[in-house]
Structure 1
Amino acid sequence: MTNLPTPHDPAKARFFIINVVRMGGVMFVVLGMLVATGRIWTEELGSGGKWVGYLLLVFGLVDTLILPLLLTRKWRTPK
């Protein structure tokens, strides 16, 4: 048997991209919680640190919950 190169499977690539987007969103959520509670970057951000943390938290939630749904709708196989 010969080892033939496997053809590029777009479904695998899309699955990988959707999961990377979800993991990035989770990282933004955790980072946003740490910044909003003042555990990191308190001196650098000053009094605006809480708002930066809340923005990171919201962007992370959008990346985790909404963006994968939009990507799956965009990449859905036409009927």
Structure 2
Amino acid sequence: MTDVEKLAQRRWFVLVVVRMAGVAGALLGLILIARAHDMGPKILGTAIVLSAMAMIATVPRSLAHRWRSPPQ
């Protein structure tokens, strides 16, 4: 495996881990919303879910854009 292939494999792994971390955060927020009896924890859970979904949508795309190969 060449150095370029290793670098590509590491970057792909980072993208997958970032997406999975966002999904885990969203699940944590949903659990918090489902188990909360008061309004405060429900608002916190909603904020966690929304921020995790924003992370899933933006962070992998920005990393891929930063790592894109220059046009030849």
Compute the TM-score of the two structures, normalised by the length of structure 2.
Answer: 0.81
For residues 13-57 of structure 1, the C-alpha deviation after alignment (integer angstroms, 9 at most, x for no partner) is 1100000000000001111111122x2xx48xx642011101110
- Larger proportion of helix: 2
1:23 to 20, 25, 35: 20
Structure 1 segments of 4+ aligned residues over 6 angstroms from their partners = none
Aligned residues: 69
2:62 to 53, 59, 70: 70
Bigger Rg, structure 1 or 2: 1
Unmatched 5+ stretches in structure 2: none
**Distance between the aligned counterparts of 2:9 and 2:51, measured in 1?**
26
**Distance between the aligned counterparts of 1:59 and 1:19, measured in 2?**
18
Unmatched 5+ stretches in structure 1: 1-5
RMSD: 1.8
Compute the TM-score of the two structures, normalised by the length of structure 1.
Answer: 0.75
